Amino acid sequence: QCMLDGRHQNADIWSCGVILYSMLVGQYPFERPEDKAKGVTEHQKLQNVMKRILAVDYKFPKQVKISEACHDIMTKILVRDPNKRLTLQGIQAHPFYTKGLPKNFFAVNEQLKNAGLPPSLQTMQSIDAILQEAKVVPGSDDADLDEMYDEALADCEDE
């Protein structure tokens, strides 16, 4: 729903930047090795990470080689002020994103967007029923499991 109404797009873009960094580096952008040092409490670690997030204090480790285009897009995505952060359209126009894409990629993308979402094949009620059923923990008694199996088998035979 958030993606459909666009109200949280800036937060989504920040999150994409964090995910991209994590994929490139193998750790979160605002964590540091010293956070894992002996004697550092979870509370201290959280405070350190929060300070770095607020200051947008991240660094690429020297051993991680990234392209100029990648570095550039990261500096435009991980920006504290959401109004100054790169937009989705800006990301899609950025050389890091467009490198290697087929020439007609954006035309096909627009066609798909304009086609709209397909109608749902399931009702919200049926989805809720499935979720409620998934929350039920079957008993550990084998007899209960046998009963559940027999009921499911009977349901299949009725159809």
Q: Where are the domains of the chain?
A: 2-104, 124-158
pLDDT averaged over the chain?
A: 84
Asked whether the predicted pLDDT for residue 136 surpasses 80, the reply is: no
Q: Is the pLDDT of residue 134 over 90?
A: no
What are the pLDDT digits (tens) for 53-112? 999 999 999 999 999 999 999 999 999 999 999 999 999 999 999 999 988 888 887 888
Q: Over the stretch 9-21, which tens digit does the pLDDT of each residue have?
A: 778 999 999 999 9
Going by C-alpha positions, the residue among 58, 69, 67 that lies closest to residue 21 is 58
Q: What is the pLDDT of residue 98?
A: 93
Contact predicate 96/73, CB 8 Å: yes
* Class of the CATH domain delimited by 2-104: mainly alpha
For the whole model, what pTM was predicted? 0.63
d(CA 19, CA 38): 27
Instruction: Give the C-alpha separation, 138 to 145, whole Å.
Output: 7
How many C-beta neighbours within 10 Å does residue 93 have?
12
Quote the CA–CA distance of 109 and 127 in Å, as a whole number: 29
Between 74 and 122, the more confident residue is 74
Is 60 exceeded by the pLDDT of residue 143?
A: no
pLDDT score, position 93 = 92
pLDDT in tens, 19-37: 999 999 999 999 998 998 9
